[in-house]
Amino acid sequence: MLQLKDTGFSYGGRDILKDVNLDIAPGSFYFLTGPSGTGKTTLLRLCYQALMPTRGIVRILDRDVRGLEREDIAQIRRRIGVVHQDCKFVDHLTMADNIRMPLQVSGRSGELDNNSFDDLIAWVGLSAHMNAYPPELSSGERQRAALARAVVMSPDLILADEPTGNLDWIMAQKILTLLIELNKMGKTVILATHDLQLIRAAKSQITTRVLRIVDKNVQLAGADL
């Protein structure tokens, strides 16, 4: 699914990540931890090709990113769903239109019928808000909408960058539950978080592994979290 070999990323002559080796299997669930500023977002951006490694290898869905043409990159990105902590929407569009946007941009708007779309919206608990505009939603509702938008194209890999960082515990649990359900459906999930309570909650429900960024490198954490 995702492989990094001796991967590094530098910016302005400063190493952000170095000598990263990862092999993420299909259908797995990983947490990514580490203090702010250690490179969690950088690592995720390498995983969805928003950044290119300055050294080493990144292979996504069995493709080396260094040899990809623009169309190849576009095709791979369609198989990756990304959820940001600070989710952005187009404020003059309804939430339904915002969530459908990836389908429209990729020319696949006819692939998801109304019943399937309604099922997706009901799954994230936003059926009553589809005609609302982004500023009218709470932070928790916006995060659930961001998750719906990220999975509307049924991606194989879901990358979530601190999606619960601005939420209370009850809403954080709801987001976690949705990600766990996706994983049980066979999706690969990588979730960046500072919240050890969230990690412990997931471990009681599914098999997860924890990656920790230490000294610009990624290490597999122990089982004592």
Candidates 2, 38, 147; CA nearest to 89 is 147
**Are 55 and 7 a contacting pair, CB within 8 Å?**
yes
Burial 113-141, CB ≥16 within 10 A → b, else e: eeeebeebbebbebeebbeebbeebeebb
SS3 134: helix
Per residue in 14-54, pLDDT (tens digit) is 999 999 999 999 999 999 998 888 899 999 999 998 899 99
In the chain, where are the structural domains located? Answer: 2-220
CA distance 64 to 73: 10
Q: Would you write out the chain's pLDDT as a tens digit for each of its 225 residues? A: 899 999 999 998 899 999 999 999 999 999 999 888 889 999 999 999 889 999 999 999 888 888 888 888 888 888 999 998 888 999 999 999 999 998 888 777 666 677 888 999 999 999 999 999 999 999 999 999 999 999 998 999 999 999 998 889 999 999 999 999 999 999 999 999 988 999 999 998 999 999 999 999 999 886 555
Q: Kindly report the pTM of this predicted structure.
A: 0.92
Q: Which CATH superfamily is domain 2-220 in?
A: P-loop containing nucleotide triphosphate hydrolases (3.40.50.300)
**What does the block give as tokens for 61?**
């869905």
Candidates 204, 164, 188, 197; CA nearest to 30 is 188
Distances (CA, A) of 56 to 14, 20, 21, 38, 53: 16, 8, 9, 19, 7
Angle at 41 between CA 182 and CA 31, to 5 degrees: 40
CA distance 181 to 206: 10
Per residue in 152-167, pLDDT (tens digit) is 989 999 999 999 988 8
* DSSP secondary structure code for residue 26 in this structure: T
CA distance 195 to 172: 10
